[in-house]
Structure 1
């Protein structure tokens, strides 16, 4: 576990901007139209073949109707009859209706299609779901917490390019899987993409090369912290009771041993859970287990540190990459004197090796100032 997490304070908590960025700047791939099939080989379409705003989406036998034909234009939306697949009122609760609505570029109309055949709305971090696990004709579609159940599995039109990187994330799901071939399934690509909605400037600042370098730098450091995204929680359980600072006015409401390292940056100490939770609008002080149980929350804590904390250095990881300071400064921010200035060259080299590998996967140069 890295030392910088011991020295952060609640003063680091910063306001974050919500919502997923619009995709108007993303180049659309060639649109492909076809049916989306689910349980029992049946298709989803607009109820009764209607096209009015608010028309429910339901499951029924594939009859080839116009509103069972869906287009993936490559901008994160899914369309039929000139309208978009939409989560009613941008809702996030289990059971929220999925409907047709005029395309408006909102987060309610963004979808991620994963390699596991889930269709996820990142705004809600929930899956397109068939109510009651039913395959009966006219079963309504809704969003629901992703369970991996058959009622949440979908086959996209053959030859389509489903929206696997909404918001134009410079790392595709295939590249992510190449970077982390042995990763724990908890660290999902969709969880990372969802988390990015909280920090709209991550991997979105500067040229395409700079954006890819920043993504590679963040993921390389995460790779080092988690053993290639294999470890969700700190391995040494003997350390668990050590991360409660009773000098803080809010104490340790989740318990003396509740604030051990979790997630992609191994967030630890009660004051860091408080700071990250305040910034993200999540009660991590009271429920630190969210970081090990919810992939999107885990990724958000990593991005919170990357985007807002100078840690043991003089700049955030984000600023180091977008302002040309180089990858070495991100190492200094993360672990400072424990690794830099010759303190632990092996650890530094491990991070640099991962960064070089990831920039090669993304097809960009690593740049200069790789070491600290």
Structure 2
């Protein structure tokens, strides 16, 4: 590997609000708070005004428009505005692969209604929680809108989505271990637009899934390879033993020089104690993030750079195991990674983008 670190409703559009002049005795609407700014980060409880109404953030958000995203709670009209009457709708049956626009309401196969929060090419409403939210449709089946809060620190992958991606994972690979490890590389899955962040998270997790059989294996399974990962030409040698630097963790950290470099970067004694990677979930995730964010491997850029600079998922394969898989080396393995990435991208409700192969 180099080494194997691997129609808001259709009818609603025609609804007309009836404005009744306020009498002198009618209470005035609240003052508008500071206007919402798309680039600003808001955390739970913070407020902003938009389109004549005040809104309160339920949890961490950035770039999600008040009134169009479930993260915002409506606090009422401000600055003399009035509250429009509730809209009614006639939902159409959801069709996979049909293009939907933000505000479209559909009836899913279970009889429940969902509203599109963002334009999408027909993603499944029960999977793509970024693009769809449960919706109460007047005159139809009603459901409670419940969107899971984002992960700690604003990670774009919720724990429920993580579990959906890895239904058979080894208990060693904890979600909390991953989110704790992310503090070492704060740019991971937090650089660029929300789409880019979700694509990077999906790409990283897809590659770790491939390397570990779905986050099942903690260590490399072929023990015959273990003695091969000691480069004795390095001045520091292999103090933990010649057969101690086999693949471990989500991207299967291998070779003494990689353990040395990762340990130096993370402030961990991995050269002398490589077993930490298979004993501590946070350490294991940190080594994977170290490789993802800092190492080119056999490629020309880091996997992180490939995703945030629109070079595509294929370049992440090249950075992790391109010498063996890319340029026709092992198309079946490349396809396995791509298929997993596409599935994870769908779970996160984002297009996988282009340049998927290497």
TM-score when normalising by structure 2: 0.61
Match of 1:28 in 2: 44
Cα deviations across residues 216-263 of structure 1 (Å, max 9, x unaligned)?
000001110000000000111121122111111111111111111100
Contact 1:245 1:251 in 2 (8 A): yes
Q: 1:67-100: CA deviations, max 9, x gaps?
A: xxxxxx746xxxxxxxxxxxxxxxxxxxxxxxxx
Question: Which residue number in structure 1 is paired with residue 244 of structure 2?
Answer: 258
**Alpha carbons of 1:26 and 1:238: their partners in 2 closer, same or farther (altered >3 Å)?**
farther
2:327 counterpart residue number:
341
CA change 1:161–1:343 in 2 (3 A) is: closer
What RMSD in Å do the two structures reach over aligned CA positions?
2.5
Instruction: Report the Cα offset of residue 163 of structure 1.
Output: 7.0
Unmatched 5+ stretches in structure 1: 8-23, 31-72, 76-159
Please name the residue that 2:50 is paired with: none
**Structure 2 spans left out of the alignment, 5+ residues:** 6-39, 47-57, 61-145
Match for residue 283 of structure 1?
269
Match of 1:330 among 308, 316, 340: 316
SS at match of 2:185: coil
Matching residue within 348, 351, 357 for 1:362? 348
TM-score (norm 1): 0.59
Give the aligned length: 231
Show the counterpart of 2:179: 193
Q: Distance in 1 between matches of 2:287 and 2:344?
A: 21
Q: Is the 8 A contact 1:180 1:229 kept in 2?
A: yes
In the TM superposition, residue 28 of structure 1 has moved relative to its aligned partner by: 2.4
Alignment of 1:177-326 (within 5 A): 177-326=163-312
| 1:36-115 equivalences in 2 (<5 Å) | 74=59
Structure 2 residue matching 1:174: 3-state secondary structure: helix
Matched, 1:5 2:3: yes
How far apart are 1:161 and its partner, in Å? 9.3
Is the alpha carbon distance of 1:309 and 1:286 closer, same or farther for their aligned partners in structure 2, counting shifts above 3 Å? same
Task: Give 2:24's aligned residue.
Answer: none
Bigger Rg over Cα: 2
| 3-state SS, counterpart of residue 222 of structure 1 | helix
2:150–2:157: 8 Å Cα contact kept in structure 1? no
